Amino acid sequence: MALVLYQFPISHFCEKARWALDYKGLDYTTKNLLPGLHVKTTKKLAARSSVPILEHDGRSVQGSEQIITYLDEHFPEKKLTPVNSHDAQFALEWERYLDREIGVHLRRYVYHTLLQHPDLVIGFFATGGPFWAKPFLKVVFPKLSRTMRKLMDINEATAAKSRQSMLMALERLNDALDEKSYLVGERFSRADLTAAALLAPLFMPPQYGLAWPAAMPEPLQSDVRALAPQLAWAEKIYQQHR
C-alpha cells in the first residue's frame, strides 16, 4: 500500500519524516495541510492533532520519532537506527533530547517573530496547498495567530527563554561532536538527521523544500548570522545526506 505523509511543509518535525523517507528512497505522497483546518483530517487518522502522520498499509503512525522507527522496521534498507543495541539506544536518547530542547524551543522562538510577519508566514503555511490557501489564511490569520500563541505558549518572555534553551542545547551538541563526523558511531543515524532537520530554519537549506526568504526578519536574521559557525556541522550533514 502507498505511503502517505500528512504534514505542514514548514514544520521541522515534518522535515524529519520527509528526510527519512527520501533517505530510504521510498515513493510516497505528501498531503499538505493548512494550520487550523488540519484538525479535520488528523483527528480521523490519529489520537492527536499534530503532524507528521504517516499512513501505510491501513495504519497511521504519528510523530517523527515513531515514523523513523516504523520505517526502519518495515523498510530496513539504509537503516537510520544503529544496529548495535547500545548505539541504537544512544541515538534514540539524542533524538528525544533534540526534539525537546531544540525542536520545541526553536519552534517557539522562531514563530514568535514569524507570526509578526503575516505575508511571510502565510506563504510558508500555504506551500503546496490549494489555490485558495493564501486568501483563506489572510482572512483567518488574526485568529490563527492567537490560537497558535496560546497552544504553543508563545509570547515575548517564553520566546526569550526558549532561545536560551535552544542555544544551550546547540552548545551541548557541538561539544559532543568535538570534531567527530557523527553523533553516534561512525555513520549517519537518526540522531544526526534529527539535529540537522530541527536546526534547519536557522540556516535555510534548499533541500528543505520551502521558498526561504533572502533574509529572515529581525531578530532572527541576527541569529542566523551569529550562529553560522555553530550550525556548520548541521549544514554539512544536509549537503552530504539530504
**pLDDT on residue 47:** 87
pLDDT tens for each residue of 128-159: 999 999 999 999 999 999 999 999 999 999 99
C-alpha cell at 67: 515514523
Nearest CA among 195, 190, 214 for reference residue 204? 214
Asked whether 11 and 52 are in contact (CB, 8 A), the reply is: yes
How confident is the model at residue 45, as a pLDDT? 92
Cell of 215: 533574509
The tens place of each residue's pLDDT in the chain, 242 residues long, gives 799 999 999 999 999 999 999 999 999 999 999 999 999 999 999 988 899 999 999 999 999 999 999 999 999 999 999 999 999 999 999 999 999 999 999 999 999 999 999 999 999 999 999 999 999 999 999 999 999 999 999 999 999 999 999 999 999 999 999 989 999 999 999 999 999 999 999 999 999 999 999 999 999 999 999 999 999 999 999 999 99
> Tens of pLDDT along 86-103?
999 999 999 999 999 999
C-beta contacts of 74-77 below 8 A and 24+ residues apart = 75/24, 75/26, 77/24, 77/25
Residue 179: the pLDDT is 87
**C-alpha cell read off for 164:** 536560551
Quickly list DSSP for 109-167.
Answer: HHHHHHTT-HHHHHHHHHTT--TTHHHHHHHHHHHHHHHHHHHTT-SHHHHHHHHHHHH
Map out the domains of the chain with their CATH numbers. 3-74 (3.40.30.10), 85-241 (1.20.1050)
Q: Is the pTM of this model over 0.75?
A: yes
Average pLDDT, the chain: 97
